[in-house]
Structure 1
Amino acid sequence: MKKLFSILFVVIAIAACNDKKNEKKGKSLPASGGTLNKLTIVTTNNLWNGSVGDTTRDIFAGVVYGLPQEEPRFDLTQMLPKAFHEFVKKTRTFVEIKEGEEKGVKYVTDVYASPQTGIIITGKNKEEIVAVLKENATEMLAKLKQTELDYKVAQMNKNPFDKGNVINDAFGIDLSVLFSYRVAKNKDNFMWLRKDIKNGDMNLMIYELPKNYIKNDSLAITNIVKMRDSIGKAHIPGPIDGSYMITEKAFTPIMQPTTVAGMSALETRGTWDVKNDFMAGPYVNYIINDDKNNRQLVIEGFTYAPQINKRDFMFELEAMVRSLKLN
């Protein structure tokens, strides 16, 4: 009998260890939840209402560039450590800030739910915590944004665009596109996808340029604006005769190098309007150096949604672009 109990004890112990390993791997974790681009900040009121809170808001709720009105990168919700438990821990992204511990930052994945990204920031005092926040701002924002992009792409893949192989046939690429988009134009090496939203629409353009047509030099923004305006005149008409989409001249676009599907690219954000009309909105343009196919692939998203926030619309369009796969 003692031998039997010993065997049972070993079996139970092994099972418990396996359960813990599975939890660490995310196999037994509940699905995470939360609204897109909503970030939970777990910290005390003492930290939140002082310099630490101010720095946290400056970083994580900073203004998104390229939108007609000011909108934050993330919608922040502060939560006390004692309230961060059970259901609340299933949030997809969180930042936990602790005082009185060794200075540092730690990134954790799938701790309480899956998928989940958490950032734990520590310091012996407020000055150290502020320093950690500032020193790691770029990396923290990149990791949180990637989590949200992955989530958005996974959402779109559950309800995919089902129009045959129209995108692949035209450009030899795969994109994660929602079923609610339709093909508005597909001719002359140019494709325009549209989705209706309340009081407006969301749009994605795909076309090709010769290799090295747009270079990353001092003339890049000028040349991109010229390119956009010529494409708008040829393919994106406005509501009245003689009107078409152009780049808004009063708003200086911002350009930065990036990568898409492992390929070097230029990302440009700005606003568009319509020549001879009053429509306007934000755009994000990617010029991707597809050396494999000896071309520059251009994919641009733009939105028309007057009088409502546009951050998440533009985020969806960016997620579609960043889902790119060459065939």
Structure 2
Amino acid sequence: MPKTISYLFLLVSICLISSCKSTPDKISSSEESSTDKMYLPKAGGEANAILVVMDTTDWNGALGQSIRDALSAYVPGLPQNEPYFKVRNINPLKFNSIIQRGTNIIMVHTLDGRGRQSQQMEKYYSEESLEKIRKDSSLYMLPQKDVYAKGQDIVHLFGQTKMQLAAHIKTNEKLLRNYFLKVENDRIAGRLFKVREKQIEKRLAEEYDFTMNIPYGYEVAKALPDFVWIRLLDPAFERDIFVYFQPYTGNAPFDDVLGKREEISSMFMRDIEKPDLYMTLQDTLSQVKEVNFKGKYAKEARGLWKFSDFSAGGPFVSYMFVDEGQKRLYYLEGYVYNPGDDKRVPMQEMEMILQTFTSGLSL
């Protein structure tokens, strides 16, 4: 978790939890008995879905819009508009034991709320907690885990007024989005790497002096001295990873990452039976930005690929960086072919695999 998120959550927890009642119906501390949690049901729900428990009138107003703006923005680099999260409002009066098992939940309350739904939301706070909110307008956010179900993440958003809380959310929307991105990515990684292709990982380490976590079912499609392609083939889809590297001479082509990508794909990603058929870029939606990749300066690219005959295409994500210890320039890419279905989760899987990359002395 980024330090800024950890610090904020620690600050709020110290200020708020210290006076909260430790019951399932109140904001409670993480010191709840592990024995009690043993009997909780397992959380469930669609990937990247968040239930937002709040007054439906507020949901349809500026406060609800601030939450939608933070969480329902479209993911860059996908062929169709797909949001980071699918958010759904839950009437607090209908927040029953079945809905409480949701994987991701946001609970929203402000002190200026009126009506039965707002009164219901107030029941989740002790009087001591409400008093702290009244006195300190900087408090607005608190995470909890495994409150109603195992494997559950809940974030409480609260404030003195709707306008005040909406302003907090707008100012810190990346923090809120990144919190749920992390917990969803962690869930995906836990499932994805439950069983791994250890022999492929060993081969990568021995032959190439780098490795990645390779999920079960993936196979090596091509292995050359400076290029390796690993993929998961299914009659309905593909998941593909490839890694290219070359000696680093001090002239890294960071100014033209997409041009380097075209050079690599035209050289290595050609059909054996039809050499004129190769992978290339679509002209739209490509985005390149500077990022920190495993502690190294890198360029991240997102966009769309296609075959030169337009017979297939889809999204990709890539990272280009220099490993100075190995004196290598690396280009890593994950791409998917998933016709007719959403690309959001498959692309998260690609990112999770690429993020496990380890090279040289770090092996």
TM-score above 0.5? yes
Gaps of 5+ in 2: 1-29, 112-129
Q: Secondary structure at the match of 1:293?
A: coil
Tell me the CA shift for residue 98 of structure 1: 1.0
| 1:4 paired residue number | none
Which region of structure 1 is more displaced relative to structure 2, 193-202 or 132-141?
193-202
What is the percent sequence identity of the aligned residues?
22
Q: Is the 8 A contact 1:123 1:129 kept in 2?
A: yes
Spell out, residue by residue over 1:127-160, the C-alpha distance to the aligned partner (whole angstroms, 9 max, x if none): 1121111111111111211111111111122121
Distance 1:254 1:25, change over 3 A: farther
Q: Which letter does structure 2 place at the counterpart of 1:320?
A: I
Q: Which letter does structure 2 place at the counterpart of 1:194?
A: R
Q: Which letter does structure 1 place at the counterpart of 2:301?
A: T
Residue pairs, 1:270-289, within 5 angstroms? 270-289=303-322
Q: Which letter does structure 2 place at the counterpart of 1:108?
A: P
TM-score, normalised to structure 2, is 0.75
Distance 1:74 1:274, change over 3 A: same
Q: What CA RMSD, in Å, does the superposition of the two structures yield over aligned residues? A: 2.7
Q: Which letter does structure 2 place at the counterpart of 1:52?
A: L
| 1:47 paired residue number | 58
Q: Is the 8 A contact 1:153 1:176 kept in 2?
A: no
Q: Does 1:226 align with 2:259?
A: yes
Q: Does 1:203 align with 2:240?
A: yes
Q: Does 1:140 align with 2:176?
A: yes
| 2:231 paired residue number | 194
Tell me the CA shift for residue 174 of structure 1: 3.7
Distance 1:302 1:213, change over 3 A: farther
Number of residue pairs the alignment of both structures matches: 303
Distance 1:26 1:176, change over 3 A: farther
Distance in 2 (alpha carbons) for counterparts of 1:248 and 1:281: 9
Distance in 2 (alpha carbons) for counterparts of 1:46 and 1:305: 38
Distance in 2 (alpha carbons) for counterparts of 1:215 and 1:109: 44
Gaps of 5+ in 1: 1-18
Q: Which letter does structure 2 place at the counterpart of 1:105?
A: Y
Spell out, residue by residue over 1:277-299, the C-alpha distance to the aligned partner (whole angstroms, 9 max, x if none): 43221110112333332323322
Q: Secondary structure at the match of 1:54?
A: helix
Residue pairs, 1:1-327, within 5 angstroms? 20-23=31-34, 31-84=42-95, 86-100=97-111, 102=133, 103=137, 104-112=139-147, 113-164=149-200, 165-211=202-248, 213-214=251-252, 220=255, 223-238=256-271, 240-249=274-283, 251-325=284-358, 326-327=362-363
Tell me the CA shift for residue 124 of structure 1: 2.3
Distance 1:253 1:123, change over 3 A: same
Tell me the CA shift for residue 90 of structure 1: 3.9
Q: Secondary structure at the match of 1:119?
A: strand
Q: Is the 8 A contact 1:22 1:28 kept in 2?
A: no
| 1:11 paired residue number | none
| 2:13 paired residue number | none
Tell me the CA shift for residue 54 of structure 1: 2.0
Tell me the CA shift for residue 201 of structure 1: 1.1
Distance in 2 (alpha carbons) for counterparts of 1:256 and 1:40: 32
Tell me the CA shift for residue 87 of structure 1: 4.8
Q: Is the 8 A contact 1:33 1:91 kept in 2?
A: yes
Distance in 2 (alpha carbons) for counterparts of 1:254 and 1:71: 16
Tell me the CA shift for residue 260 of structure 1: 3.0
Q: Which letter does structure 2 place at the counterpart of 1:226?
A: G
TM-score, normalised to structure 1, is 0.82
Tell me the CA shift for residue 47 of structure 1: 1.3
Distance in 2 (alpha carbons) for counterparts of 1:173 and 1:303: 23
Q: Secondary structure at the match of 1:284?
A: strand
Distance 1:22 1:294, change over 3 A: farther
